[in-house]
Amino acid sequence: MVTTLEKTSIRRPIGPPPHNGNGWWWSDGDDPQALAVPSWKLGTWLGLGTLTVLFAALSSAYVVRIGGERLAFALPATVWLSTALLVANSVALTIAQRRLRRKDRRFVAWLGVAALLSIGFLISQVATWQTLAAQGLFFTSNPHSSFFYVLTAVHAAHVLGGLGALVRCVYHVRVRSSFGRLRRALGMTATYWHFVDAVWLWIVALFLWTSL
Amino acid sequence: METPNIAHAEAAVEAHHHEPQSFWTKYVFSQDHKVIAMQYMITALVMGFIGMVMSWLFRIQLAWPDHNLPFLRFLMPTNMESGTLQTPGYYMLVTMHGTIMIFFLLTAILTGGFGNFLIPLQVGARDMAFPFLNMLSYWFYFLSCVVVTISLFVSTGAASGGWTSYPPLSALAKATPGSGLGQDLWLVSIALFIVASTMGSLNYVTTALNMRAKGMTLMRMPLTVWGIIVAAVLGLFAFPALFAGAVLLLLDRHLGTSFFLPHLVLGGEHIVRDGGSPLLWQHLFWFLGHPEVYILILPAMGITSEILSNGARKPIFGYKVMVASLVAIAFLSFIVWGHHMFVSGMNPWLGFAFVITTLIIAIPSAIKTFNWLGTLWKGNIRFTTPMLYAIGFISTFVTGGLTGLFLGNSALDIPLHDTYFVVAHFHVVMGLSSVFGIFAGIYYWFPKMTGKMMSERWGKVHFWLTFIGSYGVFWTMHYLGFMGMPRRYYSYDSYQFLPPSMHTLQMIITISALIVGAAQFIFIVNFLGSWLRGKKAPDNPWQANSLEWQAPTPPPHGNWGPKLPEVHRWPYDYSVPGASADFVPQTVPVEVEPSGEHHSAAVAVNGHGHTNGHGNGHHA
């Protein structure tokens, strides 16, 4: 049963007009169900926002704690090796994504390259820590070394998480997931890795800055 | 890129073919947002009950310091040996009361409980954007509750350095008994809680932004959804600071670093640390701590707005400004944390900046209050239990907000800091207000969650006892604060400046607290009794407009049956002149007459299906 009311009486004194629920800051247009960004991308970016605050909190704690004191040791040369490996890792993942977009099966090889580069990074990290330890710089030696170990260790934990994400992509290849699913998995993985690589550059820049 | 339509279609198919059948996947490791919501809600209520019992024990100590109540030993086997609460036990109870109430009750129930239940139902989705992550969120929360509960039973006692866990008290195992294993477990449980909260918040924001039904524009979303997702964004960007702090504090405790520990002498023994800053912890803690109180209040504001509009049978006053003020409060909450540290030592100019940012929060808060009163103004108010709690929310929010103006001003905060005035302020504005929002929400959505009505009569008894009793507790506390009575003391017997009348006030507070506590048993019986053998609830008992009331009661797996709802209007079309009922659900189409100078609309009220709420249980 449908009752149609007299049209003259339907005036709404308060609130936006019922037939036009356009946004205030932005309009949703005719297709209001979703933003232009797919959910997995939105979720990934929000998650990376959280991680950004984590690293920002640790970094600002470092800056506050040292109170303008200069870095007391030289960064080991392996830091530069680590940097190169992670930059290469980002490049490899970008290539893998492009290959996948062109439906080129060889993208899997680039996933392997990215994984090898990140394992190389972890080895280089261990070497960095050993170099510092050999110089007598341990976890508790001074605030610089404490924060260097903390920041690089928290970062390394995220590198391990990234390796897990790469394994998940390979798993999707193995079980012959759909193209869309594969693209989504690789898209999330690549975005995450670019973030982890950018955090590494930030950490290096931070310690270069405090050694000025 | 997948289009949302395909996603919805897939979900529809899944809803029909993949409804979990086994007990374990249906009720325990469920990925259904409604089951997860109930899991969150019940776990949080149990934790809140524990937190409330703790408050009775230390309130008894404060009112009758020489009490001898051996029967309380069954609640507190250690630290209560002679029937009197001992000092370490007192500090442990105060610390754990704060921790449990803020994180494990209020944060969990508002975002995890209401967020999970309401967001998909109110935006017209079948479930959360990431159901697996959602399940994981609950189980991380559950784990954090287990860890914090275990910490109550370790031989040295639970953490007792305050819910803020300031170092050096929290950093040195020998500082107090609770600074041992109890403090470690505290830090671990908070870290787990942060992981849980982050996974949940990702879901709430993504679902609300990306899973809306056709026609559900952002500006047609109920204010509940706005309140919860703004709080979720706060959680995403504030909690990591505490996570970082917790990691550093654990390292200070166990690996000998000096992040927060300066060189100290403890019991004649030199602590081999150097140069750490206890203030650094305070900055990291309060960078979370202040947004955290808004994580508790914003969802409660949303719930209140929703219920006030429904109970007053009027559109919410100033919808867009309500949304804007939620966002403004959220933004400001990130730049006011220093007001917790006015007496910790800071540059007066920095303090001045924090005073300004803090007082600015009064503007969006006052706008919201004005709009709530505007919504009630000349409304055809139905004083149902949820409505009473929503009105109670306005009362406590205004009372607590006004004392916030005193404390936000550093010149006044210096004498009032760490007195009972502060305890009264934050309990009223953040504790009571969000608890009132939660009760309003439980009474309001209980019929949709369980398919049963709660008893209105006992609900009202519960409300009046809680409302009057709470004011008995916290109104009185303000006077103690003016007397200069410091907080966190075990006993006040040896302070000459405190007049004997203080004891009378302490007793009034404790008796009121016990009355409020007793009233909660009425709630528990009403909640469980109604669930088991309550009156069957109609689909739309409150004659409300938002989408969840157009779903079957209780909503099935997938929420909407084969067809998703379509939204044609905002959720506050109450008392539309000329409409046949005093509410027009969001699913009712609007026919626009294209001809004529005045574009007038005709409302077609669909009389069948779920749109017009056959259960008019609350007609006058």
Q: Could B212 and A35 be called an inter-chain contact, meaning their C-beta atoms sit closer than 8 Å?
A: no
Mean pLDDT in residue range B51-64: 94
**B4 chain-A contacts, CB cut-off 8 A:** 33-34
For residues B595-601, give the mean pLDDT. 42
Contacts 24+ apart (CB under 8 A), A114-119: A114/A89, A114/A166, A114/A193, A115/A163, A115/A166, A115/A167, A117/A85, A117/A86, A117/A88, A117/A89, A117/A92, A118/A85, A118/A86, A118/A89, A118/A159, A118/A162, A118/A163, A118/A166, A118/A193, A119/A163
DSSP structure class, residue B599:
-
Burial (CB count <10 Å: 0-12, 13-18, 19+), residue B532: exposed
Q: How many angstroms separate the CA atoms of B230 and B249, rounded?
A: 29
Query: B262: which chain A residues are within 8 Å (Cβ-Cβ)?
Result: none
Ramachandran region, residue A94 (left: φ > 0; alpha: ψ -120 to 50; beta: rest) = alpha
User: What is the average pLDDT value for chain B, to the nearest integer?
Assistant: 90
Average pLDDT over residues A40-47: 94
Q: How far apart are CA B147 and CA B125, in angstroms?
A: 34
Residue contact B215–A19, C-beta within 8 A: no
Residue from the list A1, A10, A65 with its beta carbon closest to the beta carbon of B608: A1
How far is the C-alpha of A61 from the C-alpha of B582, rounded, in Å?
Answer: 56
Residue of chain A minimizing CA distance to B607: A1
Question: A105 touching B, CB under 8 A?
Answer: no
Higher-confidence residue of B474 and B12: namely B474
Residues 6+ apart with CB under 8 A from B540: B549, B550, B585, B610, B613, B614, B615
Least Cα distance to A88 among A119, A65, A58 occurs for A119
Please report the pLDDT score of residue B620 as a whole number.
32
- Per residue in B130-152, pLDDT (tens digit) is 999 999 999 999 999 999 999 99
Q: What secondary structure letter does DSSP report for A140? A: T
In chain B the domains, ranked by start, together with CATH numbers, are: 4-533 (1.20.210.10)
Average pLDDT of the residues in B271-291? 92
CA-nearest of B80, B522, B116 to B299 is B116
Report yes or no: B460 at the A interface, CB cutoff 8 Å. no
What pLDDT was estimated at residue B20? 73
Confidence of residue A33 (pLDDT cuts 50, 70, 90): low
B560 contacts chain A (CB < 8 A): no
pLDDT tens digit sequence for B391-445: 999 999 999 999 999 999 999 999 999 999 999 999 999 999 999 999 999 999 9
For B69-101, write each residue's pLDDT tens digit: 888 887 887 888 788 899 999 999 999 999 999
What pLDDT, on the 0 to 100 scale, is given for residue B18? 61
B276 contacts A5? CB cut-off 8 A: no
| pLDDT at B113 (0 to 100) | 97
pLDDT in tens, B224-261: 999 999 999 999 999 999 999 999 999 999 999 999 99
Question: Does A176 touch chain B if contact means CB atoms closer than 8 Å?
Answer: no
> Which one of A11, A21, A54 has the shortest CB-CB distance to B243?
A54
Q: How confident is the model at residue A192 (pLDDT cuts 50, 70, 90)?
A: very high
**Amino acid letter at A55?**
F
Instruction: Confirm or reject contact between B350 and chain A (CB < 8 A).
Output: no
CB-based contact A43 B4, cutoff 8 Å: no
| CB atoms inside a 10 Å sphere around CB A177 | 15
| Distance (Å) from the alpha carbon of B299 to chain A's nearest alpha carbon | 20
Higher pLDDT, B42 or B19: B42
B220 touches chain A (CB under 8 A): yes
Instruction: Please tell me whether residue B396 adopts helix, strand or coil conformation.
Output: helix
Q: What does the pLDDT read at residue B77?
A: 76
User: B113: distance to nearest CA of chain A, Å?
Assistant: 20
Place of tokens 């009032």: B416
Mind listing the pLDDT tens digit for each residue in B480-509? 999 999 999 998 888 888 998 999 999 999
Question: What residues in B contact A61, CB-CB < 8 Å?
Answer: 244-245, 248, 259, 280, 284
pLDDT at B607 over 70: no
Q: B198 and A18 in contact by Cβ < 8 A?
A: no
Contact check, Cβ <8 Å, B576/A51: no
Query: B323–A24: do the CB atoms touch at under 8 Å?
Result: yes
Q: Residue B583 corresponds to which tokens in the numbers above?
A: 């509410």
What string of H, E and C letters represents the secondary structure of B8-22? HHHHHHHHHHCCCCC
**ipTM given for this complex:** 0.89
Question: What is the pLDDT, as a whole number, of residue A21?
Answer: 37
Q: Is B601's CB within 8 Å of A4's CB? A: no
Q: What residue ranges in chain A does DSSP mark as E strands?
A: 2-4
A57 — contact with chain B (CB < 8 Å)? yes
In residues, how long is chain A? 212
Please say if the pLDDT value at position A141 is more than 80.
Answer: yes
Residue A178 near chain B (CB below 8 Å): no
Q: CB distance from B164 to chain A under 8 Å? A: no
pLDDT (mean) for B309-329: 96
Measured between CB atoms, does A187 come within 8 Å of chain B? no
Residues B377-389: pLDDT tens digits? 999 999 999 999 9
Residues of chain B found within 8 Å of residue A11, distances taken between Cβ atoms = 577-578, 600
- What percent of chain B has a predicted confidence (pLDDT) above 70? 92
B284 → closest Cβ in A46, A57, A140: A57
Higher pLDDT, B310 or B173: B310
Q: Which of B564 and B479 is assigned the larger pLDDT?
A: B479
Q: Which residues pair with A117 in a beta bridge?
A: none
Question: Given A13, A37, A50, which is nearest B236 (Cβ)?
Answer: A50
The arithmetic mean of pLDDT across residues A9-20, rounded, is 36
Contact B393, B368 (CB under 8 A): no
Alpha-carbon distance of B139 to B400, in angstroms, equals 34
Q: Is B312 on the interface with A (CB under 8 A)?
A: no
> With contacts defined as CB-CB under 8 Å, which chain B residues touch A50?
198, 236-237, 239-240
Tens of pLDDT, residues B99-137: 999 999 999 999 999 999 999 999 999 999 999 999 999
Contacts of A12 in chain B (CB under 8 A): 315, 573, 576-577
Region B276-304: mean pLDDT is 96
Per-residue confidence (pLDDT) for residue B272, from 0 to 100: 82
Contact B468, B516 (CB under 8 A): no
Average pLDDT of chain A, as a whole number: 85
Chain-chain contact of A42 with B276 (C-beta, under 8 angstroms): no
**Nearest-Cα residue of chain A relative to residue B592:** A19
Mutate to test the interface with B, among A5, A27, A141 (most CBs of B within 10 A): A5
Residue with the bigger pLDDT between B73 and B312: it is B312
Q: With bands split at pLDDT 50, 70 and 90, how would you rate the model's confidence at B268?
A: confident
CB contact under 8 A, B237 and A10: no
Q: Which CATH number fits domain A39-64+77-210: 1.20.120.80, 1.10.150.120, 3.40.50.2300, 3.20.20.150?
A: 1.20.120.80
